[in-house]
Amino acid sequence: MDRAPSLAAIRREHIEQKVAFFHGDSDEVYGAPRILVDLRADGEIISRKTVARTMKRLGLAGICPKNWKTTTVIDHADAYPVDAVKRKWDTGALNQVWVGDITYLRTWEGWVYLATVIDAHSRRVIGWAIANHMRTDLIQDALTMAIVLRGDRPETVTFHSDRGTQYASAQITEFAAAHGITRSMGYTGICWDNALAESFFATLKTEFYYRRVWPARARAIRDVAAWIEDRYNRRRRHSSIGDVTPVDFELQYSSQAAGIQLAA
């Protein structure tokens, strides 16, 4: 006569099913730390070691970004603003420091270029533009989207970038001045001076872009935009903001700010 499975065996199978589900739901990129957060948010009392052992037993693994390479194109005739951020990205509030950068994405039809604007406090991509060129209009379009999304914001926002020729251009200088944006730039060739923006691109490429084939520019543009808005901003947990998503973090921030105003 077959014996009924033990409580330990039932519990193990239950956890394996949940770990497999959360790993798949993350597009197979989450490792043990983020799956642990998902499990605990789902009501499980469990340790990180147990999650790690379960993933190993199931043959599951997270994905870690590779080291990045600089894509900055420099024009030594341009005048550069000072580095007003000095790698202190998060000042404790939204719309204080925005960071921007450009990356190249290869398709069978040729390159496409992605420019982003990220709020350093929430890590949310608040502005982006993708096109088959990397003219300065690409940067301006990403900034315009950020300005429209944020609406009511402080009188001045610091926008930090590397010393790429588009960011140092007269066009962006004039645009920033007209919209209450203070420009800040890191030093050329020092990736850490724009590490927050570079880190986002590493995540995008490792967790999404490198895992697919891109025959057409139009498909890449559409799918990258969808990944930014749906996966990264709204579904992907971010360890630096308490393992919540950027959008959820901003909702919590707004709720706390409203509570403080009512108390005052």
Express each pLDDT in 209-222 by its tens digit. Answer: 988 888 999 999 99
* pLDDT value at residue 70: 52
Structure tokens at 96: 């204080």
Question: How many residues are present in the chain?
Answer: 264
DSSP state of 231: I
- The structure's pTM equals 0.74
Decide if 163 contacts 72 (C-beta within 8 A).
yes
Render pLDDT for 21-80 as a digit per residue (tens, 0 to 9): 777 777 777 888 888 888 887 778 888 888 888 888 777 787 766 654 555 454 544 557
DSSP state of 192: G
> What 3-state DSSP class applies to 182?
strand
Average pLDDT score over the chain: 83
* pLDDT value at residue 77: 43
Structure-model confidence comparison of residues 70 and 93, the more confident one = 93
| Cross-strand partners of 125 | 118
CA 2 to chain CA mean position, Å: 52
The dihedrals phi and psi of 130, each to the nearest 5 degrees, come to: -130, 135
**Could you tell me the fold of the domain covering 97-250?**
Nucleotidyltransferase; domain 5 (3.30.420)
CA 11 to chain CA mean position, Å: 35
* pLDDT value at residue 129: 96
| Cross-strand partners of 129 | 115
Amino acid at 230: D
Render pLDDT for 176-211 as a digit per residue (tens, 0 to 9): 999 999 998 876 544 555 778 888 998 998 889 988
Residue 1 has pLDDT above 60, yes or no: no
Alpha-carbon distance 148 to 143, whole Å? 9
The dihedrals phi and psi of 127, each to the nearest 5 degrees, come to: -150, 140
What percentage of the chain exceeds 90 in pLDDT? 36
The dihedrals phi and psi of 35, each to the nearest 5 degrees, come to: -65, -35
| Cross-strand partners of 118 | 99, 125
Domain ranges of the chain: 9-58, 97-250
Alpha-carbon distance 103 to 94, whole Å? 24
The dihedrals phi and psi of 98, each to the nearest 5 degrees, come to: -110, 145
Mean pLDDT of 105-116: 90
11-39 in b/e form (b: 16+ CB < 10 A) is eeeebeebbeebbeebeebbbbebbbbbb
Alpha-carbon distance 130 to 112, whole Å? 7
